[in-house]
Structure 1
Amino acid sequence: MASLVFRSFVFLPMMFVLMVLTMSEAKTHVRITNDLPNNMDLTVHCKSREDNLGAHVLSYLDSYEFRFNPNIVGSTLFYCSMAWPSHTRYFNIYSFRRDGSCEWSKHVCLWRVTPEGPCIVKNLSNNQTVCYNWKKE
């Protein structure tokens, strides 16, 4: 009986460490594409609590991409300001609670930015998208 208890104390921590290492290897990839009309440039500036990714100017249909490892407690959040002539909007471009690991496309979150709001591609094969409103300022 003591042997079984000892094995449990050794086995369970090993399983936890293995789980953490496996999760940390799963990089998530976010791609933001400028889909504004009239060939307007889009300035994207994304941040998390730990990282400031800087400002990036995107011409029409250009994309900006970044990769990260979601944290193991499921609280990873990246938020962005998006600006074009006479407009500045804000959106949480990646929220673990909403997006998980973007499993529908193998850890790739594909976003299109429109004046009405950002749209994420949920299914690549049929181009199914879900659009969101801009965050209230």
Structure 2
Amino acid sequence: MKGSSKAIWQFYCVVLLLASAFAPSTSWWIRRGLTRDYVRIVNNLNNQQLQYQCKSKDDDFGLRSLPPNGEYEWGFRVNFWGSTLYFCNFWYLDNHAVFDVFRDTIDFLYECGGAHCIWKAKEDGIYLFHIQTKENKKMHDWEKIKA
């Protein structure tokens, strides 16, 4: 009986290895907790401070301010359950936007182009920089703050 348990265990290990090598969605699942992910906020506003507050279920980075051309980045490991989520509230002058800056999903990582999600605030909206293609994609428009 012991020999058959060992054979089953070896079989499962081989299947897991093959699945991670040939299925991108499976390898994405296996990478959880093994690699670090990053979020970077970049202020590309012309001569305006960018105010923001980023949070997760467990972390609150507090109110922050970035000068023009300033950057802020943090790194983290996603949790095993795939529920890691960070969101931010951004504002400058009378404009604001609130959205998820990181979700532990294969689709979201694809949008980022990898493990670094780089968000750039510009006058006409907030862009996500795709690392592999080196392109900025407008993801969010600014909304006017109601007085």
TM-score, normalising length: structure 2:
0.70
* Deviations 1:110-131, CA, capped at 9 Å, x for gaps: 211124332111135x521222
For structure 1, the residue ranges without an aligned partner over 5 or more in a row are none
Q: Percent identity?
A: 22
Query: Residues 112 and 128 of structure 2 are in contact (CA less than 8 Å); yes or no, is this contact kept in structure 1?
Result: no
- The answer on 1:96 being equivalent to 2:104 is yes
More deviation, 111-120/28-37: 111-120
| 1:58 CA displacement | 0.4
- Count residues in correspondence: 130
> Match of 1:29?
38
In angstroms, what is the RMSD of aligned CA positions?
3.2
> Match of 1:113?
121
Partners of 1:110 and 1:34 lie apart in 2 by 11
Amino acid at match of 1:32: I
Superposition misfits of 4+ residues, deviation over 6 angstroms: none
Partners of 2:94 and 2:30 lie apart in 1 by 45
Partners of 1:128 and 1:69 lie apart in 2 by 25
| 1:75 CA displacement | 2.2
Amino acid at match of 2:109: G
TM-score, normalising length: structure 1:
0.75
Cα distance change, pair 134–69 in 1 and its aligned pair in 2 (3 A): farther
Q: How does 1:7-46 map to 2 (within 5 A)?
A: 7-8=7-8, 23-37=32-46, 39-46=47-54
Partners of 1:99 and 1:135 lie apart in 2 by 21
* Deviations 1:72-131, CA, capped at 9 Å, x for gaps: 2222210001111122321111122242387735x222211124332111135x521222
Query: Residues 75 and 95 of structure 1 are in contact (CA less than 8 Å); yes or no, is this contact kept in structure 2?
Result: yes
> Match of 1:74?
82
For structure 2, the residue ranges without an aligned partner over 5 or more in a row are 17-26
Cα distance change, pair 55–28 in 1 and its aligned pair in 2 (3 A): same
Pick from 60, 65, 68: which aligns with 1:52?
60
Partners of 2:125 and 2:80 lie apart in 1 by 29
